[in-house]
């Protein structure tokens, strides 16, 4: 059961990292378009 929990935690961490990356990309492209 512990392994499953670790797997889910890792998947959530991956999703969160991807979300943060995409958010940063959107922010940088927004700044570029404003300039």
Q: What is the dihedral of CA 21, 26, 32, 33, to 10 degrees?
A: 170
- Indicate the pLDDT class of residue 27, thresholds 50, 70 and 90: confident
Structural domain that includes position 10:
1-35
Mean pLDDT of the chain: 84
Place of tokens 């959107």: 26
The whole-number pLDDT of residue 10 equals 93
Q: d(Cα 8, Cα 30) in Å, to the nearest integer?
A: 33
Number of domains in the chain: 1
The whole-number pLDDT of residue 9 equals 92
Q: Is the pLDDT of residue 22 over 90?
A: no
Q: Is the pLDDT of residue 32 over 80?
A: no
The whole-number average pLDDT for the span 7-26 is: 88
């Amino acid at each position: 059961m512990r392994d499953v929990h670790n797997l889910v935690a890792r998947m959530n961490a991956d999703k969160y990292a991807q979300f943060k990356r995409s958010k940063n990309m959107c922010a940088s492209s927004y700044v570029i378009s404003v300039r």
